[in-house]
Amino acid sequence: MTKTYTVPPPPPHNEGKTPAAWTLSLGVVIGITLAALGMVIGMPALLVVGIVVAALSVVAGVVMSVVGLGKKRPARSAATS
């Protein structure tokens, strides 16, 4: 008796190149760069601004993903939920 298996469909291939991913990545890089610069030159205000920019970019990226600008997730079936 031989069994046959079907191959599942491949996931969408976008390598994270979505507006949500770009916003999150660039925002974190800019924020951490500002925070590091604030630490190096001794400006606590710039340090705080950098941390706030990084935190807000994480929030913006998650919100954009939830709204639909992120990676498309496969539909969940009733059996898995």
pLDDT, tens only, 68-80: 887 776 666 655 5
Look at residue 29 and tell me if it is in a domain: yes
Look at residue 48 and tell me if it is in a domain: yes
- Indicate the pTM of the whole model: 0.71
Look at residue 72 and tell me if it is in a domain: no
Task: State the angle between helix axes of 44-64 and 19-41 in degrees (0 to 180), rounded to the nearest 10.
Answer: 170
Look at residue 56 and tell me if it is in a domain: yes
Query: d(Cα 27, Cα 9) in Å, to the nearest integer?
Result: 34
Q: What are phi and psi of 66, to 5 degrees?
A: -65, -35
What's the domain count of the chain? 1
Kindly state the helix (H) or strand (E) to which residue 31 belongs, with its residue range. Answer: helix 19-41
Q: Please report the pLDDT score of residue 47 as a whole number.
A: 97
Domain that holds residue 48: 19-65
